[in-house]
Copies of this chain bind each other. A is one copy, B any other.
């Protein structure tokens, strides 16, 4: 049974940035952390009448739980965060439109003379037994369900270059990647930029479409369990993920083709290194094998995913077998409860 730490932040201990906040706990590698994350609205939207522009106070959006200081983590190392479980903490979730935010609207960056689109709130019913999210239209009586697929939109460490970044930003340090791939059973690898890594997470989604088109997912508070490991002397330039079936690279940038390029190049480098291929051979192989779902096309940076099925790769353990090691710890934790 691994060591277990429980942590539930109080509202005054939320953090709103990666970097720039003192750690809330020190975690030894191999530790399981049971934690709670509030939704991206800091829980302030509770009905269809609670508009973001009214009830939320910028920049206090997207509260993060953490940061956790990982013992022994130094610049040039990698931390691995394995998601043992991600469970909605309530039986409802919320989505909205936000003025001048989203992919199909003018924004502060894709600036125009248009007035903002209407600001609306949708409350989604979560059926945690049936694992569904119920959508009800606002302007008709249409209703339907989508599968629940809980995930964390925001997972990251303190950034490099002496920076402190808003929790709304995805970049090389992780942060607001908003990829549905960040789900239970997945290991997330993050390069360490400062001593202790300073890992935080938040922004739970009961589910999310690829691209997060309207800028907001099915947002909900989460009870989440992770197990954290440290890989000494291994760098990770951009966040990587590993599931039982896939390895995944991420790239976050604008324009979107630059996010694509980063993720694909990272995958080519990863495959070249693990399989001992030349870069041109890896480029060819990845080009034919890769899946390329989008993560977000609405945030400060856009995020693109490169994803390859492990069954198409020789049966190597990747990243020194960390994913399997953390799965074993997760099983031990589950058995021990």
Contacts and interface: CB of A to CB of B under 8 A. Distances in A.
Contact of A302 (B137, B251, B257): B257
Given A103-B264, A281-B139, A292 B291 contact: no
A46 B286 CA distance: 22
B109 A113 contact: no
A179 to B, nearest CB: 11
Nearest to A283: B214
A262 interface: yes
A215 B264 CA distance: 13
Interface string A275-296: 1111111011111111111100
B122 A113 contact: no
Interface residues on A, range: 35 or more
A209 B286 contact: yes
A163 B17 CA distance: 7
Nearest to A160: B59
B113 A105 contact: yes
A112 interface: yes
A22 interface: no
A161 to B, nearest CB: 4
A160 B166 CA distance: 9
A297 B260 contact: yes
Interface in A298-332: 302, 304, 306, 312-314
Contact of A139 (B161, B277, B288, B306): B277
A292 B140 contact: no
A139 B294 contact: no
Interface string A101-125: 0011110111111110110101000
B280 A120 contact: yes
A255 B257 contact: yes
Interface in A225-270: 251, 253-258, 260-262, 264-265, 268
Interface of A: 16-17, 19-20, 58-59, 95, 97, 103-106, 108-115, 117-118, 120, 122, 133, 135, 137-140, 142, 144-146, 160-166, 168, 207-218, 251, 253-258, 260-262, 264-265, 268, 275-281, 283-294, 297, 302, 304, 306, 312-314
15 contacts: A20-B20, A97-B283, A97-B284, A103-B260, A105-B114, A114-B115, A114-B117, A118-B280, A135-B288, A138-B280, A161-B168, A209-B287, A211-B290, A214-B284, A254-B255
Given A103-B261, A209-B290, A213-B287, 15 more contacts: A95-B287, A114-B117, A122-B284, A135-B284, A135-B285, A137-B285, A139-B277, A139-B280, A209-B292, A210-B291, A210-B293, A211-B264, A256-B257, A293-B294, A294-B294
What 10 A-B pairs come out closest when comparing CB atoms? Answer: A255-B255, A256-B256, A139-B278, A210-B292, A164-B164, A214-B287, A209-B290, A254-B254, A137-B281, A213-B287
